[in-house]
């Protein structure tokens, strides 16, 4: 294979193929406009020269790219993993490529991800923001508005923007209600609920549902973690559970990552606990962990999210419309 440097251009390919540079450009950008024989010849020469089209330059010329951005705070969370896989598959079927950004709950990383996608003229963005409390109002929101990038919130929204943009959400109060009803039927005098961030709208809603359906709070302790259960969370919760532990206590993780973190801590400390989880922890199936909880079908959610995003991409951005909000029920699964 001939090796060329990065200075290879479509003009070089055109000379080798004995066609115009416009024909080469069409072969990459609008292949349906070039005869198959000519197109195959151009692509073969491009491969021989190790030529890769400059997508960024192409996007500058076009109104938008065929790129969809997914920005989430954790690609380790099984809830997002399956959802993103489904979105990617369906987007590719429509001729789009997906760029995935894991912000790791870092606000600056989220800002950079959004700025990058806007600079690449992304056709649309799926966003699960790092925070959903009242104090989080990131500056990139004005950038999205200015460039009219179709945006869909997934799972959680930026406070006061949930009604401005379409989104797909879980019914968090109902999740809490199902959790509380389950706990009220258990023979347990020590329940530890480990929630997401204290000021999170999701945390507040799920806890409200629990309290309403299980009003006896005397045997409930609530501790808080970040969504991604980082090292500081582990250190803090390891210390707290040793203070609160009694045999066969119930631990309720209000998301799968938190449940996984608590399971690791209690296993390390050799503590006997029962578990309830909102969505499954990572590798639960691999390690044959049968944990009761409120579960959601991430494949189904991925399909709904993709439909919602493409309805935004394909609509007339200049016309006023009412952003669509989808709220999905969870299913109580008991083992």
CB 97, CB 67: distance < 8 Å: yes
Domain assignment of residue 266, yes or no: yes
Residue-level pLDDT at 319: 73
| Separation between Cα atoms, residue 319 and residue 185, nearest integer Å | 51
With both helix axes pointing from N to C terminus, report the angle between 256-268 and 231-244 in degrees, rounded to the nearest 10: 60
29, part of any domain: yes
DSSP secondary structure code for residue 95 in this structure: T
Residue 123 lies in domain: 67-165+299-330
> CA angle, 48 as apex, 120 and 97 as ends, to 5°?
25
* Burial class of residue 287, CB neighbours in 10 A (0-12, 13-18, 19+): exposed
Lowest mean per-residue pLDDT among 16-30, 226-240, 246-260? 16-30
Report how far apart, in Å, the C-alpha atoms of 27 and of each of 10, 36, 39, 58, 89 are.
10, 9, 6, 13, 24
In a domain, 335, yes or no: no
Chain length of the chain: 335
- Do β-strands 292-295 and 331-333 pair in parallel, antiparallel, or remain unpaired? antiparallel
Strand partners, 167: 153, 325
Residues 228 and 245 in one domain: yes
Q: Does 105 share its domain with 43?
A: no
Q: With 70 as the cut, is the pLDDT of residue 79 above it?
A: yes
Q: Is residue 62 part of a domain?
A: no
Q: Across the chain, which distance is largest between two alpha carbons, in Å? A: 82
Mean local confidence (pLDDT), 57-70? 72
Residue 4 lies in a domain: no
| Residues 156 and 46 reside in one and the same domain | no
Note the pLDDT of residue 297: 93
pLDDT at 257 over 60: yes
**How many helices (H) does the chain have, and how many strands (E)?**
12, 12
Query: Based on the domain organization, do 289 and 306 belong to the same domain?
Result: no
**Cβ contact 170:330 at 8 Å:** yes
Cα separation, 331 vs 278, whole angstroms: 10
Q: What is the mean pLDDT of residues 199-224?
A: 92
Looking at the structure, tell me whether residues 291 and 303 fall in a common domain: no
Q: CATH no. for residue 74? A: 3.40.50.2300
Domain containing 26 — which CATH number?
A: 1.10.260.40
Tell whether 60 is covered by a domain: no
Residue 188: per-residue pLDDT: 87
Q: What is the pLDDT of residue 30?
A: 77
Provide the pLDDT confidence category of residue 1 given band limits of 50, 70 and 90: very low
Structure token pair of residue 254:
């209000």
* Structural domains of the chain, count: 3
Claim to verify: residue 188 and residue 274 sit in the same structural domain = yes
Flag whether 58 is in a domain: no
Query: 278 and 179, same structural domain?
Result: yes
> Are residue 196 and residue 291 in the same domain, yes or no?
yes
One domain for residues 15 and 48: yes
Check whether residue 189 and residue 46 sit in a common domain: no
For residue 244, give every residue at least 6 positions away whose Cβ sits within 8 Å of its Cβ, in sequence order, or none.
190, 192, 221
Distance (Å, whole) CA 125 – CA 168: 13
User: Which of 12-26, 239-253, 311-325 is predicted with the least confidence, judged by mean pLDDT?
Assistant: 311-325
Closest CA to 62 of 14, 98, 28, 29: 29
Residue 1 lies in a domain: no
Place of tokens 């990617």: 88
Contacts of 143 (CB under 8 A, 6+ apart): 114, 115, 118
Query: pLDDT digits over 107-139, tens only?
Result: 999 999 999 999 888 999 999 999 999 999 999
- Is the same domain home to 89 and 133? yes
pTM assigned to the model: 0.80
Average pLDDT, the chain: 90
Do 228 and 265 belong to one domain?
Answer: yes
Which region among 48-62, 114-128, 180-194 has the lowest average model confidence (pLDDT)?
48-62
């Amino acid at each position: 294979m001939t090796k060329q440097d990065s200075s290879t251009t479509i003009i070089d390919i055109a000379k080798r193929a004995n066609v115009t540079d416009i024909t080469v450009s069409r072969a990459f950008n609008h292949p349906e406009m070039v005869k198959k024989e000519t197109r195959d010849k151009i692509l073969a020469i491009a491969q021989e020269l190790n030529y890769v089209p400059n997508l960024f330059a192409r996007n500058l010329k076009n109104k938008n790219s065929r790129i969809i951005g997914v920005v989430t705070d954790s690609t380790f969370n099984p809830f997002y993993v399956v959802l993103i896989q489904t979105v990617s598959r369906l987007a590719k079927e429509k001729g789009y490529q997906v760029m995935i950004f894991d912000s790791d709950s870092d606000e600056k990383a989220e800002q950079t991800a959004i700025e990058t996608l806007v600079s690449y003229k992304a056709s649309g963005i799926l966003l699960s923001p790092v925070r959903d409390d009242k104090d989080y109002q990131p500056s990139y929101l004005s950038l999205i508005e200015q460039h009219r990038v179709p945006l869909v919130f997934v799972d959680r929204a930026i406070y006061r923007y949930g009604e401005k943009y379409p989104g797909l959400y879980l019914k968090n109060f109902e999740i809490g209600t199902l959790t509380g009803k389950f706990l009220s039927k258990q023979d347990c005098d020590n329940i530890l609920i480990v929630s997401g961030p204290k000021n999170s709208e999701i945390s507040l809603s799920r806890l409200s549902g629990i309290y309403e359906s299980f009003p006896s709070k005397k045997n409930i302790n609530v501790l808080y973690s970040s969504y991604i259960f980082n090292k500081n969370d582990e250190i803090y919760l390891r210390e707290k559970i040793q203070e609160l532990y009694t045999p066969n206590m119930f631990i309720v993780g209000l998301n799968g990552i938190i449940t996984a973190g608590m399971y690791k801590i209690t296993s390390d400390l050799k503590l006997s606990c029962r578990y309830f989880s909102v969505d499954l922890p990572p590798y639960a199936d691999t390690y044959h962990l049968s944990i009761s909880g409120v579960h959601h079908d991430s494949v189904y959610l991925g399909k709904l999210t993709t439909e919602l995003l493409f309805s935004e991409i394909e609509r007339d951005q200049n016309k006023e419309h009412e952003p669509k909000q989808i709220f999905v029920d969870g299913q109580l699964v008991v083992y």
